[in-house]
Amino acid sequence: MNLDSVVVEITFTGEVYGVMLDFGAINNNVDGEEHIQRIYPKLSNGQLLTQGVTYTYQPGVPTGTVGGTYFVNSSKTIKAYSGNADDGRLIISASTPFKKIRFTQREISASSVSGPNGILVKRISYCPVIPDIAVSVQNANQAMNSTSSFGTVGIGNSVTKTFQISNQGTGNLTLNSLSLSNGVHWQILNNPNLTVAPLDTVFLNVAFSPTASGNLSDQITFVQFETSLGTEPLRFVRQ
């Protein structure tokens, strides 16, 4: 008698910190008694992640009916039993971001007293690793697409403001460039690190040295490498 076993590997579009797998038990499964075994996250380099990983099993989620599935932590195995077509949810979280989930769908018997019982993955949800940009001036939040005033500055004088660029997300924030629209009256004084780690901050010094009178304005654009985030403009004015 041949018992089938297949390795399943799910690759996410980006790195994640957590995955939620919803399982369903199958009563009278035509393929025999099945388990889903050795459920592990994998790094982008293909290495299994076994340290710093937390498994939380919620029987009966999301239907509320318990008794048909259970999780064996020692072997990282989801099982169905008692012939009940119930649900269960496994939440996997890690301190290290990972790119894949790997498990083995294994037939352990062609028949079963109680069924036989099968198990399947019904839904996969995940928590992506994403950056989140935040800008502030003198500890006051500065919304993107907003205006920062340098006040009234006479010709020949100069005022400098320091902008704090923080990453409040879970992935590296990569600023492809920081550029002024024209750079006639405003000037970027320093070259901050364009890669901002999670929960880290870099500082951008901008000087306003007007060479003409009247209402003046310029715009700085934070070009983020992540295409889903796009560009973030911030306007400078003299009032």
The pLDDT tens digits for 40-54 are 999 989 999 999 999
Contacts of residue 191, defined as CB under 8 A and 6 or more positions apart, other chains included, come to: none
State yes or no: pLDDT of 90 exceeds 80.
Answer: yes
Domain containing 183 — which CATH number? Answer: 2.60.40.10
Question: Do 122 and 193 share a domain, yes or no?
Answer: no
Q: Clarify whether residues 106 and 137 are in a common domain.
A: no
Whether a cis peptide bond, with omega within 30° of 0, leads into 97 is no
Greater model confidence, 22 or 1: 22
Q: For residue 120, what are its two tokens?
A: 């399947």
pTM: 0.58
Residue closest to 105 by CA, chosen among 38, 27, 196: 38
* Whether residue 104 is found in the same domain as residue 162: no
Per-residue confidence (pLDDT) for residue 67, from 0 to 100: 63
Q: What is the pLDDT of residue 227?
A: 39
Note the pLDDT tens digit of each residue in 96-151. 889 999 999 887 765 554 555 677 788 888 877 777 788 888 788 887 778 888 88
Query: Exposed (0-12), middle (13-18) or buried (19+): which is 177, by Cβ within 10 Å?
Result: exposed
Query: What per-residue confidence (pLDDT) applies to 9?
Result: 94
Question: Is residue 158 predicted with pLDDT exceeding 60?
Answer: yes
* CA distance linking residue 118 with residue 92, whole number of Å: 22
DSSP state of 48: B
Confidence of residue 230 (pLDDT cuts 50, 70, 90): very low
Q: What pLDDT was estimated at residue 66?
A: 63
> Where is the domain boundary, 128, 147, 172?
128
In the chain, the largest separation of any two C-alpha atoms, in whole Å, equals: 91
- Per-residue pLDDT band for 29 (boundaries 50, 70, 90) equals low
| Together in a domain, 108 and 141 | no
Confidence label for 168 from pLDDT (cuts 50, 70 and 90): confident
pLDDT higher than threshold 70 for residue 68: no
Say which residue, 166 or 234, is predicted with more confidence. 166
- State the Cα–Cα distance between residues 4 and 33, nearest whole angstrom: 11
Res 150: pLDDT = 87
Structural domain span for residue 105: 5-128
Could you tell me the two tokens for 96? 């290290």
Q: What is the DSSP letter of 63?
A: T
Same domain, 145 and 230: yes
